[in-house]
Amino acid sequence: MISQLIFVLMLSLGISLFVRRIAFIRRNINMGRKIDLSDRKAERWKTMALVAIGQSKMVARPVAGILHIFVYAGFVIINLEMLEIVMDGILGTHRLFSFVGPIYDSLIGAFEFLALGVLVACAVFLIRRNVIGLARFKSKEMGGWPSLDANIILVAEILLMFAFLSMNATDAIAIERGLEHYVDAGSFPVSQFLTPLYVGLSDVRLVFAERGFWWFHIAGVLSFLVYVPYSKHFHILLAFPNTYYSNLDESSKMDNMASVKKEVDLMMDPTADPYATPAPLPEGEVEDTPCFGVKDGSDLTWKQIMEAYSCTECGRCTSVCPASNTGKELSPRKIMMDCRDRMDEMGENRDTNSGEFKEDGKKLLGDYISEEELWACTSCQACVDACPINISPMGIILDMRRSLIMEDSKSPEPITTMFNNIENNGAPWAFPAASRGDWIKEA
């Protein structure tokens, strides 16, 4: 009875901490600029099914991709057993679903293989990060917390899987000894190899060990639940909505800013009266002071903020970025991490100031992301193509350039010259427009 009470308390604590953090991230996402992505539903579901559920872009790198599928499948499917574990915990039962017989046995057997897959994959991932030291895990932005975060997750998964298998191994011994409460159920194709570790224990100690592993496992899972939304590992949830709201257009297509179009239309319309009173806004709408491009976190669209929270810092973007590859300051992954960190900061500021963000003298542009980084981008879309969950660091970079140019008139001198040339000669170079057809004579 007491153990059931402790269990229920633990479970509600875990879930409520998780929900609290999710609500925080949700508020942060809602701080973003509004855009309407409610269109093309069928295409969106399809993209999500392919990219998130089907992991289609992960396998572009086969080793990491296939290992990731092990962990992903293991995580999703083993969680089916969480249902039984939670029910057992609440009701004080043991292997509640074992009455279904052979199906139950084969399910448990399958879970064991999956657990082994997760364990091996995580071990390989740890080796790749810490022993082999793949370049993309060693970049500047990965120092300190991001690397620790990744290692914590991998070690936690290994411990959880070990506890899960040991729980089954001790259970199997208990069944064999015919101990009370231990129903003869399940099959243990993997954990049977762990039994030698525990077979020497007395009955009391064996039960203690089995209970210990059970509690360690569930406590671990709940801690993991609370930890995930604080971590890059949050991609396990956000990857789904993030791919649903993927950009469905050509990756090279940039949006045409509506606020600019309004101005240009006015300038191009000879009948327009520049002093006319603007038409009244439809009821309920507030005028949006046009601020061009992205200067701070709240200038990002909600989708871009969602992308920042979905990023799992795998660095595939950075590893294919021509600028990063030639030693430039730019790393697309860092752009995403900076956006997330700034949103965390802005969100905390908002929550401590009763729901209203108070100027803190910082900006995403300048305090997190430098102009040098922005000007290193070639807009080649390699980062967009490489991202396993369709994040676009390039979109944010180009939106920040818009702020630099249209808000601050800050551009490297040759860029200013290029603008002037286009304005005056209709070409980025200083050739007179009239000579545009000169090649015709040469032909």
Partner 1 sequence: MNTFKVHTMAEMTAEGKAPDVLFWVGCAGSFDDRAKSITKAIARILHHTEVSFAVLGAEESCTGDPAKRAGNEFLFQMQAAANITVLNGYGIKKIVTGCPHCFNIMKNEYSELGGKYEVMHHSQFIATLIADGKLTLADDHPFKGKRITFHDPCYLGRGNGEYEAPRSVIEALDAELVEMRRCKSKGLCCGAGGAQMFKEAEKGNKEINDERTEDVLETKASVVATGCPFCNTMMTDGVKSAEKSNTVDVQDIAEMIAKAANILPE
Residue 322 near partner 1 by CB under 8 A:
yes
Stretch that binds partner 1, among 48-56, 76-84, 247-255, 304-312 (CB under 8 A): 247-255
Residues 9-31: b if buried by 16+ CB within 10 A, e if exposed: ebbeebeebbeebeebbeebbeb
Which residues inside 330-389 make contact with partner 1, applying CB under 8 A? 330, 372, 375-382, 384-385
Question: Please, what is the minimum distance in Å from the beta carbon of residue 290 to partner 1?
Answer: 11
For partner 1, give the closer residue by CB, 3 or 378.
378
Check residue 424 for interaction with partner 1 (CB under 8 A): no
Contacts to partner 1 from residues 139-178, by CB under 8 A: none
For position 248 contacting partner 1 by CB under 8 A, the verdict is: no
User: To which H or E segment does residue 82 belong?
Assistant: helix 62-91
Nearer to partner 1, 108 or 320 (CB): 320
Binding partner 1 (rule: CB under 8 A), the pick from 5, 35, 90, 422 is: 422
Residue 222 CA to residue 14 CA, distance in Å, equals 5
H helices present in 245-326, as ranges: 258-268, 302-310, 316-320, 322-325
| Cβ proximity to partner 1, 285 vs 413, nearer residue | 413
Dihedral (CA of 372, 230, 356, 279) sign: positive
Least distance in angstroms from the C-beta of 266 to partner 1: 11
Q: Is 290 in the site for partner 1 (CB under 8 A)?
A: no
Q: What's the CA gap between 126 and 198, in Å, rounded?
A: 27
Using the rule CB under 8 A, is 276 a contact of partner 1?
A: no
434 scored as a contact of partner 1 (CB under 8 A): yes
Q: Which of 49, 118, 58 is nearest to 314 (CA)?
A: 58
Residue 46: closest CA among 253, 243, 252, 310: 243
> If binding means CB under 8 A, how many residues of this protein chain bind partner 1?
69
Beta-bridge mates of residue 301: 33
For position 20 contacting partner 1 by CB under 8 A, the verdict is no
Residue whose token pair is 């949830």: 237
Tell me if 150 sits within 8 A of 228, measured CB to CB: no
Instruction: Name the CA radius of gyration of the chain, rounded.
Output: 28
273 binds partner 1 (CB under 8 A): no
State which of residues 4, 247, 349, 411 lies at the interface with partner 1 (CB under 8 A). 411
- Residues lying near partner 1 in the complex (CB under 8 A): 249-254, 256-257, 260-261, 263-265, 267-268, 292-293, 320, 322-323, 325-330, 372, 375-382, 384-385, 398, 400-406, 411-412, 414-415, 417-419, 422-423, 426-429, 431, 433-440, 442-443
